[in-house]
Amino acid sequence: MSNIEQFKNRNVSEEYFLVDIEDYPTDGWGKFKRVVKRTFQGELFVGLWVVLREMIKFDIHTVQYPKEKMPIGPRYRAVHEMKRLWESGTERCIGCGLCEKICISDCIRMETKIDENSRKEVSEYSINLGRCIFCGYCAEVCPELAITHGGRYENASEQRAHFVMYEDMLTPIDMLKAGQQQEFEGFGAITPHEDERVKKTPLAY
Amino acid sequence: MDMAYLIETVVKIVVIMLIFSALAGLGTYFERKVLAFMQRRLGPMSVGPYGLLQVAADGIKLFTKEDIIPQNVVAPIFKFAPVITAATAFMAAAAIPFWPQFTVLGYTVHPIVADTEIGLLYVLAVMAIGLYGLLLGGMASANKFSLISAARTAAIFISYEVVTGLSLLAPIMIVGSLSLIDFNNYQAGGVSHWLVWTQPVAFILFWIAAFAETGRTPFHLIANDHEIIDGFGTEYSGMRWGLFFIGEYANMFFISFVIALVFLGGFGDGGLGGALALIAKVSFFFFFFLWTRAAWPDVRPDQLMWLCWKVLMPLAVVNVVVTGLVMMF
């Protein structure tokens, strides 16, 4: 139990100190002294040096977005993806209708029928991304991991009809054959490079 | 007045207009780049190599934007106000020598439009008239925030005219002339002859006042960014607003020239080195305008007034008196 002692220190850094704040001067002479002190303290030049230093260091943090993109976490909930079965290449969706039922913004719609082999077949499946709030319930409720969320967040379009294109969401068959279908890592998956980003929590609970 | 003189003057005016209109545009590019680098950003990058053509894109946008005259504005004054700002900014350039005189094909060119005996007074006076553009624009806008901003601008400009005038009075007493060429020739002996060594207080005071006269950041109260709107220019759009902008940036360049010419020796003895030194000095002062914008916060209007009337003006008066006493004895 001695190990817990190190977490009882609630300061992130040992360098914290209380700032010494003087009382405001009340008489004219005190105010004059404060003005003179502030004038010749050179604090303005500290500010100038700080920004010049950053300019010289040239440590640019800009991400030039259309050309460069930040890595996105596996848990990110962007445009849906419809997966295929690895072995046969057919769609994973079994038409159970759970996603349609649970969708709180009513944007999933599917039509099913019994095909010639007496199996349930999905004849129409659409997600209106213009209405979708990307809550993730559909992916969570899917028993087959057929509908998941992907990382494709650029879904601006000129036409609303583009927001319901099932073909865009379904893994293309050639990508599947090339083994490029991204498997859903599951809820609670860890973002890449997460270890480097972990910081000590300021408060130990 | 002979024909050659007339043609020469017109050519000089056109050249100065073109160069400084382009520089005003490039000035916005440099400002955005410098501010971006100081804030660890990249600034404009998309249009052209390193965003260099951003200036052209902005120009096209300003020129083709719809020219909106809002309801209830005093239309003639509203339309005319930006012209005052831009025109006075360029008129001030008439008495500024931008380059030492040089000879082309046996013809000596004086790169100054009019070397009048009252050069410095003329520059200050015309720059002061520029206030009317902002003031009238704000007053004619039928927008109370524009009106408040215009009133604040007028108060600050008039206050700081006092500091500019008084701080320049001491160097004028020493040199004994108002022509900027005389100022330059007085300091032609080299760095040790610069007026900044004999008049450091005047130099600092004029530099501070230059920020108020051009409305740059520590004193950027003409278009107070904290109010989210653009001060007097709120109701303006397109090229009318662009004229205000060109005026502001041209003013920054011209006041940088004045500081360099009056206090830092100008172009020295008139050689090529001196001319390039003048460009370097002006570039530094222009860079400093951008630098302070990245580093310093704005001051409150009442603090600005306090600084002007209770600190800078008494200092300027004391400086003039001391200079006078030293010259007398």
**Residue B315 contacts A where some CB pair is shorter than 8 Å:** no
- The answer to whether residues A113 and A164 belong to one domain is yes
Q: Which positions in chain B touch A51 (Cβ < 8 Å)?
A: 38-39, 291, 294-295
Domain ranges of chain B: 3-328
Q: What is the pLDDT of residue A186?
A: 66
Q: Which positions in chain A touch B51 (Cβ < 8 Å)?
A: none
Which of A47, A59, A62 faces B295 most closely, judged by CB atoms?
A: A47
- The answer to whether residues A87 and A152 belong to one domain is yes
Is B316's pLDDT higher than 90?
Answer: yes
pLDDT > 70 fraction of chain B, expressed in percent and rounded: 99
Q: What is the pLDDT of residue A204?
A: 56
Q: What average pLDDT does this structure show over B189-197? A: 87
Structural domain contains residue A186: no
Name the closest residue on chain A to residue B36, using Cα atoms: A55
| Helix, strand, coil percent values for chain A (each to nearest 5) | 30, 10, 60
Say how many domains are in chain A. 2
Structural domain contains residue A66: no
The average confidence (pLDDT) of chain B is 89
Q: What average pLDDT does this structure show over B166-191? A: 90
Is A1's pLDDT higher than 60?
Answer: no
Per the structure, the complete domain to which residue A139 belongs is given by 80-177
- The answer to whether residues A151 and A90 belong to one domain is yes
How far apart CA B38 and CA A63 sit, in angstroms, is 16
Helical axes B200-214 vs B272-295, angle rounded to 10°: 60
ipTM value: 0.84
Q: What is the pLDDT of residue B80?
A: 92
A66-86 pLDDT, tens digit per residue, is 889 887 878 888 889 899 998
For residue B140, what are its two tokens? Answer: 């004619």
- The answer to whether residues A44 and A122 belong to one domain is no
Please state, in angstroms and as integers, the Cα–Cα distance from residue A129 to each residue in A84, A132, A164, A168, B125, following that order. 21, 5, 6, 12, 63
A79-128 pLDDT, tens digit per residue, is 898 999 988 888 899 999 999 999 999 999 999 999 888 888 888 898 88
A132-184 pLDDT, tens digit per residue, is 999 989 998 998 889 988 888 887 888 887 777 788 888 888 888 888 888 87
- The answer to whether residues A101 and A169 belong to one domain is yes
- Pairing state between β A80-82 and A120-127: unpaired
How far apart CA B195 and CA B186 sit, in angstroms, is 9
Mean pLDDT is lowest, of A56-70, B66-80, B124-138, B218-232, for: B218-232
**CA angle at residue A139 from A137 to A141, to 5 degrees?**
65
Q: pTM of whole model > 0.90?
A: no
Is B190's pLDDT higher than 90?
Answer: no
Interface test with A, best of B33, B37, B219 (most A CBs within 10 A): B37
Interface test with A, best of B30, B35, B38, B289 (most A CBs within 10 A): B38
